[in-house]
Amino acid sequence: MQKNLGLYIHIPFCKQKCNYCDFYSLGCNENKIPEYIEALCTHIKREAHLYRNYQIDSIFLGGGTPSLVNEKDFDKLAITLRECFNISPTVEFSLEANPGTLTEEKLNCYKKNGVNRLSIGLQSTNDTELSVLGRIHNFDEFAKSFNLARQCGFANINVDIMYGLPDQNLANLSKTLGDVCKFSPEHISAYCLKIEENTPFYKIRENLILPNDDEEYDMYIYLCTELKKQGYEQYEISNFSKKASRCVHNLKYWLSEEYIGFGPSAHSFFKGKRYYYENNLEKYLNSLECVDNLPKKHYEEDTSLEINSTDEYVMLKMRLSDGVNEKEFEDKFGKSFTDEYPRILSFLKDNYVTYKNGAYAFTEKGFFVSNYILSQILKFN
Ligand code: SF4
Q: What is the DSSP string of 349-361?
A: TTTSEEEETTEEE
- How many Å apart are CA 158 and CA 94, to the nearest integer? 10
Task: Tell me the CA end-to-end span of the chain in Å, nearest whole number.
Answer: 40
- 249 & 334 share domain: no
- 292 confidence band (pLDDT: 50, 70, 90): confident
- 246 & 347 share domain: no
Any domain includes 273: no
pLDDT at residue 306 tops 70: no
The residue whose CA is least distant from atom 2 of ligand 1 is 64
The residue whose CA is least distant from atom 8 of ligand 1 is 21
- 97 & 227 share domain: yes
Q: Which amino acid is at 11?
A: I
- How many Å apart are CA 34 and CA 341, to the nearest integer? 51
The domain boundary residue, chosen from 231, 254, 277: 254
- State the residue range of the domain holding 328: 319-377
Beta strands in 26-138 (DSSP E): 26-27, 54-63, 87-97, 117-123
CA of 324 to the centre of ligand 1 (A): 33
pLDDT score at 305:
45
Closest CA to 14 of 35, 37, 32: 32
CA of 21 to the centre of ligand 1 (A): 6
The domain boundary residue, chosen from 201, 224, 254: 254
The domain boundary residue, chosen from 254, 269, 288: 254
Any domain includes 260: no
- 21 & 150 share domain: yes
- How many Å apart are CA 147 and CA 208, to the nearest integer? 34
Cis peptide upstream of residue 63 (ω within 30 degrees of 0): no
CA of 268 to the centre of ligand 1 (A): 21
- 308 confidence band (pLDDT: 50, 70, 90): low
Find the mean pLDDT for residues 289-316. Answer: 81
Q: Which amino acid is at 354?
A: T
Collapse the DSSP code of 170 into the 3-class scheme (helix H, G, I; strand E, B; otherwise coil) and give the result.
Answer: helix
Give the atom of ligand 1 at the shortest distance from the alpha carbon of 134.
Answer: 6
pLDDT tens column, 25-74: 999 888 999 999 999 999 999 999 999 999 999 999 999 999 999 999 99
pLDDT at residue 371 tops 60: yes
- 12 & 131 share domain: yes
CATH number at residue 38: 3.20.20.70
Please give the model's pTM, rounded to 2 decimal places: 0.96
| DSSP code string of 314-348 | HHHHTTBTT-EEHHHHHHHHSS-HHHH-GGGGGGT
- 247 & 341 share domain: no
- 45 & 146 share domain: yes
List CB contacts of 348: < 8 A, sequence separation 6 or more: 354, 355
CA of 18 to the centre of ligand 1 (A): 5
Q: Is residue 344 within 8 Å of residue 353, measured between CB atoms?
A: yes
The residue whose CA is least distant from atom 6 of ligand 1 is 18
The DSSP call for residue 51 is G
Total domains in the fold of the chain? 2
Any domain includes 362: yes
List CB contacts of 12: < 8 A, sequence separation 6 or more: 24, 25, 26, 36, 63, 64, 263, 264, 265, 281
Give the atom of ligand 1 at the shortest distance from the alpha carbon of 20.
Answer: 7
- How many Å apart are CA 6 and CA 327, to the nearest integer? 26
- 58 & 205 share domain: yes
Q: Is residue 362 within 8 Å of residue 373, measured between CB atoms?
A: yes
Any domain includes 304: no
Question: Cα 284 from chain centroid?
Answer: 22
pLDDT tens column, 323-370: 999 999 999 999 999 999 999 999 999 999 999 999 999 999 999 999
- Phi/psi for 349 (5° steps) reads -70, -30
- How many Å apart are CA 208 and CA 134, to the nearest integer? 14
Closest CA to 20 of 183, 198, 226: 198
- How many Å apart are CA 376 and CA 197, to the nearest integer? 26
Residues with CB under 6 Å of ligand 1 are: 14, 17-18, 21, 23, 25, 63-65, 98, 121
pLDDT tens column, 248-267: 999 999 999 999 999 999 99
* Bridge partner residues of 120 (DSSP): 97, 159
Torsion, Cα of 283, 285, 291, 292 (10° steps): 70
- 344 & 218 share domain: no
Q: Count of CB atoms within 10 A of residue 1's CB? A: 4
- 205 & 63 share domain: yes
Choose which residue among 19, 23, 28 to substitute to test ligand 1 binding: the one with the highest number of ligand atoms within 8 A of its C-beta.
23
pLDDT at residue 270 tops 70: yes
Question: Cα 292 from chain centroid?
Answer: 31
Any domain includes 143: yes
Collapse the DSSP code of 306 into the 3-class scheme (helix H, G, I; strand E, B; otherwise coil) and give the result.
Answer: helix
Label the pairing between strands 117-123 and 239-241.
unpaired
Any domain includes 351: yes
Any domain includes 281: no
Positive or negative: CA dihedral 167, 170, 174, 180: positive
Total H helices, total E strands in the chain:
16, 17
pLDDT tens column, 76-135: 999 999 999 999 999 999 999 999 899 999 999 999 999 999 999 999 999 999 999 999
Torsion, Cα of 376, 253, 25, 279 (10° steps): 80
Any domain includes 366: yes
